Amino acid sequence: MGREMNRATWRLISAMSLVVFGCSSAKPPKPVPLPIETAERGAAQAAKSSAAGNWQTAAGQWQSALQDYRLLNDRAHEAVALHNLAEAREQLGDFKTAHGLLESAAEINSALKKEDQWWRNQIGLLQVEAKAESTNELAARFEKLGSKQPANRTLKALFLNERGLWHSRTGDFGAAGADLSNALQLFTVEKNDSGAATVVANQALLLERQGKHREAAESWRLAQNRFEALANPSGIAVSMAGRGRSLLAAQDQLPVAEDLLRRAARNFRALHDEKEAQQAAELLRKAMELQGKNSGDATGLGL
């Protein structure tokens, strides 16, 4: 019996050994090399800062990530870091640096034949040139792009939105309306609520430029509703200012215009956008003057 017990015990131990051996044969995944882990961690932190609108911090973090990816000769991620660093520099008002960074990203993506990423760079360049009021550069870029459009529907919508704004600025209102309408349709199909809200705001701006101030006020109201649903503070402030400005231009519902402009100016200051805050405050003074009120100084406006 003792011999049988020994055999049973041996079979159990043998089976357990096989199980353990089977587990140990599945090798754990190779650890990520430290330089790659450092680059990925830095890029993730930079992306969080960008999403939060902490542009000064984001710029420094994207600069570090850019250097890390260059040391790894990771060209694809280098282009991503260049693009995102450009966005941070643009938000800080450094349009010249942003422009150069986007051009560098576009060169890399062109060499890597990454068409979608190249289009993102081109759209970024259009936005920077528009903000910098580089009219000649903007016209030249649209001419260079010609009739080409991205295959990706979201990118196509972004491009049409920028081209619609360009037509709006140059007074080609029919073309502007068509481009913005098509952009809105594409964003809606793609369920891109942020893009759709932006286009509705740009449609309101187009109506303002056409002198259709009451219609513009209604379009700004719709844009504001969309941005509120997205909890987008910047979009909300822009929409309130736009609606207040439109009502003021129409000399319609002046108390409503006054209230909107006061809250817009306050929100722009909270967002550290002094330029927009000042413009809203100036319009607020006009609204108060039209109602026969004493405009007073900034503190008197409740800003």
Cα 222 from Cα 233, distance rounded (Å):
15
CB 275 within 8 A of CB 267: no
Model confidence at 6: pLDDT above 80: no
Residues 55 and 171 in one domain: no
Boundary (domain end) residue, out of 80, 112, 144: 144
Rounded to an integer, the average pLDDT of 235-245 is: 98
Boundary (domain end) residue, out of 108, 125, 144: 144
Cα dist from 40 to 34, 35, 174, whole Å: 10, 9, 46
Q: Is residue 282 part of a domain?
A: yes
Q: What pLDDT does residue 92 have?
A: 94
CB 90 within 8 A of CB 127: yes
Would you give the distance in Å from CA 175 to the centre of its chain?
Answer: 24
Q: Which of the four pLDDT bands, split at 50, 70 and 90, describes residue 303?
A: low
How many structural domains are present in the chain?
A: 2
Q: What pLDDT does residue 294 have?
A: 54
In CATH, what number is assigned to the domain containing residue 293? 1.25.40.10
The better pLDDT of the pair 12, 205 is held by 205
* 167, 169, 174, 180: CA torsion to nearest 10: 70
Q: Is residue 29 part of a domain?
A: no
CB 267 within 8 A of CB 236: yes
Q: What is the CA radius of gyration of the chain?
A: 28
Mean model confidence pLDDT for the chain: 89
* Of 119, 157, 156, nearest in space to 141 by CA: 119
Residues 83 and 186 in one domain: no
Non-local (6+) Cβ contacts of 81 within 8 A are 43, 46, 62, 65, 66, 69
* Of 216, 144, 151, nearest in space to 186 by CA: 151
- Matching residue, tokens 């809105």: 184
Determine the 3-state secondary structure of 68 from DSSP.
helix
Non-local (6+) Cβ contacts of 77 within 8 A are 39, 43, 69
Model confidence at 236: pLDDT above 90: yes
Rounded to an integer, the average pLDDT of 136-145 is: 92
Q: Is residue 16 part of a domain?
A: no
Rounded to an integer, the average pLDDT of 108-137 is: 95
Q: Is residue 67 part of a domain?
A: yes
pTM: 0.83
- Matching residue, tokens 């349009």: 95
Q: What pLDDT does residue 292 have?
A: 84
Residues 176 and 293 in one domain: yes
Domain span including residue 79: 38-144
Q: What is the pLDDT of residues 29-45, one digit of tens each?
A: 788 899 999 999 999 99
Q: What pLDDT does residue 19 have?
A: 37
Q: Is residue 1 part of a domain?
A: no
Residues 98 and 71 in one domain: yes
Residues 155 and 135 in one domain: no
Q: What pLDDT does residue 112 have?
A: 98
Residues 120 and 237 in one domain: no
Cα 64 from Cα 76, distance rounded (Å):
16
Residues 205 and 172 in one domain: yes
